[in-house]
Amino acid sequence: MEIIDLSNYNETRFNTAIALGNFDGIHIGHQQLINTMISKAKDLGIKSSLLLFKNHTKATIDNNKPNMITSNEQKFKICEELGIDIIYLLDFDDNLMKLSGEDFIKNIIIDKMNCKLLVVGFDYRFGYKASGDSEFLLELGKKHNIDVIVLDPVYKNNEVISSSIIRNLIAIGHMDEVTNILGRPYSILGKVITGKNRGNKLGFPTANMEPMDNFVIPKNGVYITNTIVDNRRYLSATNIGYNPTFNEDVLKIETYILDFGENIYGKMIEVEFIDFLRDDIKFKNKEELINQMNLDIEMVKFKH
């Protein structure tokens, strides 16, 4: 899979099929859209591709960057696994924001990306102030000789799947539902930073993670997790909270990796959230905390 920055690039090598959307999460609805685009691209003998913005559109439009489900780095990995040929990257800046819907299609999609097929969801919006919708896109497709496919919504439990629903489910700790809708566990990428070494002293050395981006943080509590270190996956227990037993006031994401003894300070790790175990609790003393941590580890092993 190629990753191409469109800043100073025009695609002249291939005709392309493009899936358009924000694709935060690349949930099972997004996957259906992408798989449709890939299948149609193969039928037409053209390259399958995705247009991704380097920054979130809302950060430019109203300075309100929402918490994300997937970073671009995670999107790249998922897209490669899905079989996409090319990802095109573009800055969503003031100039792009002010393009009319037709100018966006003509200047970017046709002139820069050499597009012959567009695949979008039923709720896709584009152009200045999101003035263009899927109906307008179908009209532009006819005008500019581009095939346009608009897909119907995908439902789960009689509800249209959306990134907003997934963010809400993550925020309340319903990780099993999140996994069903994403088609994989929700995960956060981050760097292991030095903490207060308290876990070590308690007999449970933890990796204190600093998220690499503005991820949605699950609700406070203890989770069954997998932790990926150097492309290897380990069973783990992750606590999100303020360490109420020790009266701390900084939110921490701390992970105890089972059967693991390596020094990983400074490394990038990925924590996959499998299931919620319990709320964050204030214990009377560290002995109570240690007892509960032992119970947590046993529960992680049992439920895994």
**Domain with 199 in it: what CATH number?**
2.40.30.30
- In whole angstroms, how far apart are CA 190 and each of 24, 73, 171, 182, 227? 18, 12, 18, 20, 11
Indicate if 114 and 193 belong to the same structural domain.
no
- Report how far residue 119's alpha carbon sits from residue 122's, in angstroms, rounded to the nearest whole number: 10
pTM confidence score: 0.89
Residue 168, domain member (yes or no): no
Indicate if 233 and 133 belong to the same structural domain.
no
- Report how far residue 259's alpha carbon sits from residue 125's, in angstroms, rounded to the nearest whole number: 48
- Report how far residue 236's alpha carbon sits from residue 272's, in angstroms, rounded to the nearest whole number: 9
- Evaluate whether 208 touches 248 at the Cβ level (below 8 Å): no
- Name the residue range of residue 124's domain: 2-160
Indicate if 78 and 120 belong to the same structural domain.
yes
How many structural domains comprise the chain? 2
Pick from 217, 218, 236: nearest CA to 226: 236
Residue 82, domain member (yes or no): yes
Indicate if 7 and 129 belong to the same structural domain.
yes
Per-residue pLDDT tens digits of the chain, which is 304 residues long: 999 999 999 999 999 999 999 999 999 999 999 999 999 999 999 999 999 998 755 544 455 667 999 999 999 999 999 999 999 999 988 888 889 989 999 999 999 999 999 999 999 998 888 888 899 999 999 999 999 999 999 998 889 999 999 999 999 999 999 999 999 999 999 999 986 655 555 556 889 999 999 999 999 999 999 999 999 999 999 999 876 555 566 788 999 999 888 889 999 999 999 999 998 887 767 787 778 888 888 988 887 7
Which residues, 6 or more positions from 220, have their beta carbon under 8 angstroms from its beta carbon?
240, 241, 242, 251, 279, 280
Predicted pLDDT of residue 192? 95
- Report how far residue 85's alpha carbon sits from residue 82's, in angstroms, rounded to the nearest whole number: 9
